[in-house]
Amino acid sequence: MDLRNAKVLVTGATGGIGQVLAVGLAARGSDVVLTGRRADMLKPLAERLGGRAIPADLADREAIEELLDQAGEIDVLVANAALPATGLLADYSIGEIDRALDVNLRAPIVMAKLAGERMAARRRGHLVFISSLSGKAASGQASLYNATKFGMRGFALALREDMRPHNVGVSTVFPGVIRDAGMFADSGATLPRGVGTRSPRDVARATVRAIEKNLAEVDVAPLSLRLVTLVAGVAPNVSAAVQRRVGGDKTTEQLAKGQRHKR
């Protein structure tokens, strides 16, 4: 997929990582359409990048179809918007569970259906899902978040096969711990010793590479964290024990506390 002059819709563009994604895609020559809940941040960013702003709350089910109608024919969808959804399931209200599922999983699926149908008809397009390594490795006090991210991975891999005959690419980007912006940075949590981080620009570069090379999956994390994630896929009990041993459960508890107000 050539990003030059491509029309790209980025969700969650008012978040720290979303803003960097928008800047990175615009730098590749894309015509960006940005969406998010905070119009006060969204519109100045779109103006700076020569793009367009469409404020929307993806927890509002009726807003999704309206958003895509306003966006028009897009060449690339970057589904980046997400809620933290960390913490014990017992601490969530039913409404908070529904909101996390709607924003993190339902909205990307519905947007992929609506945008993907149009892309398939034109035989041109790419769908990108910004996920998390939490979609490959589970951790304590993140059951709801893990559920949405594991679900997104399965959905994207299957959809990639379904869209292949229509010349539409599907990619998933899996950031690990991202410094300076995003959910972890906003929470104020501290990492166990030896756990490395990556930057928002690394996520943007990985997203561009996934689109341009039509990659199924791209991890954005240091080698050590990618290896831990690989172990989690084949030996989840071992992974859970290692996380407890290095203090990962305390970090997740801090994440949940720092992100509670975003539910």
Q: What CATH number corresponds to the domain at position 240?
A: 3.40.50.720
Q: Is residue 212 part of a domain?
A: yes
- Average pLDDT of the residues in 110-126: 98
Give the domain range for residue 247.
Answer: 7-262
**Model pLDDT, residue 182:** 63
The model's pLDDT over 132-185, given as tens digits with 9 standing for 90+, comes to 999 999 888 899 999 999 999 999 999 999 999 999 999 999 999 888 876 667
**Model pLDDT, residue 180:** 82
The model's pLDDT over 221-233, given as tens digits with 9 standing for 90+, comes to 998 888 888 888 8
Q: How many domains does the chain have?
A: 1
The residues annotated with a catalytic role in the active site are: 145
Q: Is residue 1 part of a domain?
A: no
Kindly indicate the confidence band of residue 206, based on its pLDDT and cuts at 50, 70 and 90: very high
Q: Is residue 191 part of a domain?
A: yes
Give the mean pLDDT of the chain.
91
Q: Is residue 105 part of a domain?
A: yes
Contacts of 116 (CB under 8 A, 6+ apart): 125, 127, 159, 163, 168
Residue 192 has pLDDT above 70, yes or no: no
Kindly indicate the confidence band of residue 195, based on its pLDDT and cuts at 50, 70 and 90: confident
Q: Is residue 70 part of a domain?
A: yes
Q: Is residue 119 part of a domain?
A: yes
**Model pLDDT, residue 237:** 83
**Model pLDDT, residue 211:** 98
The model's pLDDT over 18-62, given as tens digits with 9 standing for 90+, comes to 999 999 999 999 999 999 999 999 999 999 999 999 999 999 999
Q: Is residue 224 part of a domain?
A: yes
- Average pLDDT of the residues in 116-135: 97
Q: Is residue 16 part of a domain?
A: yes
